[in-house]
Amino acid sequence: MLWNFGCIFLLPSLIARLEGGGKLMSALGIMLDPTRKSYEIQSFEDNLRRRVVGQDRAIRQLARAYQVFKAGIAAPGRPLANLLLLGPTGSGKTRLVEAAAEVLLGSERAILKIDCAEFQHSHEISKLIGSPPGYLGHRETHPLITQEVLDQYHSESLKLSLVLFDEIEKASDSLWQLLLGILDKATLTLGDNQRVDFTRCMIFMTSNLGSQEMAKLVEGGLGFASTMQGSDPELDQKIYRTASEAARRKFTPEFMNRIDRVIVFRSLQREHLEQILDIELRRVQERVTLAAEDRQFIFRCTAAARDFLLEEGIDVKFGARHLKRAIERHLVFALSNLIATEQIRLGDVVTVDFDRSASRLVFFRDEKAALVPAMRLSAEKAMSAASHATPAALLAP
Ligand SMILES: Nc1ncnc2c1ncn2[C@@H]1O[C@H](COP(=O)(O)OP(=O)(O)OP(=O)(O)O)[C@@H](O)[C@H]1O
Ligand SMILES: [Mg+2]
């Protein structure tokens, strides 16, 4: 104790000398910098940021949890992290988990996802954990959660599982009991008494609780406040408090005490949706590239086409969900028609524009730019390189 006090008072005067390499020296040794990020964590964050827009705080918090795991000093006997994700619908909660799976485990589907709304009735729990031996149908019920299922995405280099409990406010009491056990002791006992170990899992739980109140704080209703540019620490604080108070009102203290971090997602603004549009268009292009070999082509959207999709996709209630729907309805559906009627062929370059008078997207095949099939291979290579470039570079008219 005395020693600690001594340190507090002596430290400033002890940090006296600057060594040749710019390192601060003191009688206690070389001063270290715990804010410096490793290359791996920095690139994890950068990769998430390329996929999830406008949620930097959430990304940083997830990266911190991952860093503790990578350093090997996560608390023993518990999951690696219990994270509660709050925020409006379509703001990127599920997308963040998918993006983490994509970056860390190679596929956005590498998640064990439990939709709590599907287990609202207690008897449905047997779908999750199987029924006890002797019960009718015991042999036919294959539990959704088993050790095998949980570990299926482990690799030699990374033994990590991502588990997502979606819409937890809809969970039944018995699902809550299971969840509490997992969050606290990292174990789940199945119907046949086998145990599932969750110590190598990051547990994500999502909920829309408090999003109505949060929306009221942001000028302009649910999202898209044009006046709110960049970050506003005071507003951030208020939004965080509103969300966590709503969670505290709804969830029991025993649940909240098991949460390591409450991560609050912000409503998306127009500038974010513009970036999400680029990401989503790139994903459509990837779908085209992965389609049957004889149907690959490249499409480009003009600025007018992009503006149209954005206007169609802005909806104050559904965040980016509505934008995705607009892309499917106006672009993907039309492209699929053009493919089916063979108006688009292998190696074509298609320009997508907006016809103001008809108020719809229009499509043009560029005769000169058409790629002959022999060039397809190099086009594919260019495509995959472009998909790593900035979205604007790929989609510029
Ligand atoms: N911040 C974001 N960055 C990038 N894409 C996003 C973002 N938010 C939403 N999207 C896009 O919208 C889709 C729907 O978002 P997501 O599923 O993450 O919403 P959510 O916050 O989980 O909503 P809900 O509470 O309704 O489950 C995503 O698949 C993604 O394509
Ligand atoms: Mg979701």
Q: Does residue 112 register a pLDDT over 90?
A: yes
Domain stop point among 234, 268, 302? 268
pLDDT of amino acid 127: 85
Determine the distance separating the centroid of ligand 2 and the alpha carbon of 91, expressed in angstroms.
8
CA 369 – CA 349 distance, rounded (Å): 6
Region 64-85: what's the mean pLDDT?
94
CB 173 within 8 A of CB 52: no
Structure confidence at residue 63 (pLDDT): 96
Residue of 148, 264, 140 whose CA lies nearest to 208: 264
Is the CB of residue 210 below 6 angstroms from any atom belonging to ligand 1? Answer: no
How far, in Å, from the CA of 130 to the mean position of ligand 1? 31
Highest mean pLDDT among 91-105, 132-146, 278-292, 380-394: 91-105
Between the CA of 262 and the centroid of ligand 1 the distance, in Å, is 18
pLDDT of residue 230: 53
Residue among 56, 86, 89, 91 to mutate when testing ligand 1 (max atoms within 8 A of CB): 91
Q: How far is the CA of 166 from the centre of ligand 1 (A)?
A: 13
Q: Alpha-carbon distance 171 to 250, whole Å?
A: 12
Tell me whether residue 20 is in a domain: no
**Residue 55 in contact with ligand 1 by CB distance below 6 A:** yes
Same domain assignment for residues 251 and 324: no
Element (H, E) at 86: strand 81-86
Domain end marker among 268, 287, 307: 268
Considering the domain architecture, whether residues 87 and 198 belong to the same structural domain is answered as: yes
Residue 72 confidence (pLDDT) above 80 = yes
191 located within any domain: yes
Ligand 1 neighbour 275 (Cβ under 6 A): no
Residue 18: inside a domain: no
Domain count, the chain: 2
| Burial of 310 per CB tally in 10 Å (0-12, 13-18, 19+) | middle
> Are 74 and 206 in a shared domain?
yes
Last residue of a domain, one of 268, 292, 322: 268
Residue nearest to atom 28 of ligand 1 (CA): 95
Burial class (CB in 10 A: 0-12, 13-18, 19+), 229: exposed
Average pLDDT over the chain reads 83
**What percent of the chain is modeled with pLDDT above 90?**
52
Question: In testing the pocket of ligand 1, which one of 103, 269, 276 has its CB within 8 Å of the most ligand atoms?
Answer: 276
Q: Is the CB of 97 under 6 A from ligand 1?
A: no
Looking at per-residue pLDDT, the higher value among 15 and 82 belongs to 82
> Is the beta carbon of 269 within 6 A of some atom in ligand 1?
no
Q: Given this model, what pLDDT does residue 10 score?
A: 46
Closest CA to 175 of 188, 157, 159: 188
- Atom in ligand 1 nearest the alpha carbon of residue 280: 31
- What's the pLDDT at 396? 34
Residue 109 alpha carbon to ligand 1 centre in Å? 15
Range of the domain at 336: 271-395
Q: What average pLDDT does this structure show over 228-247? A: 76
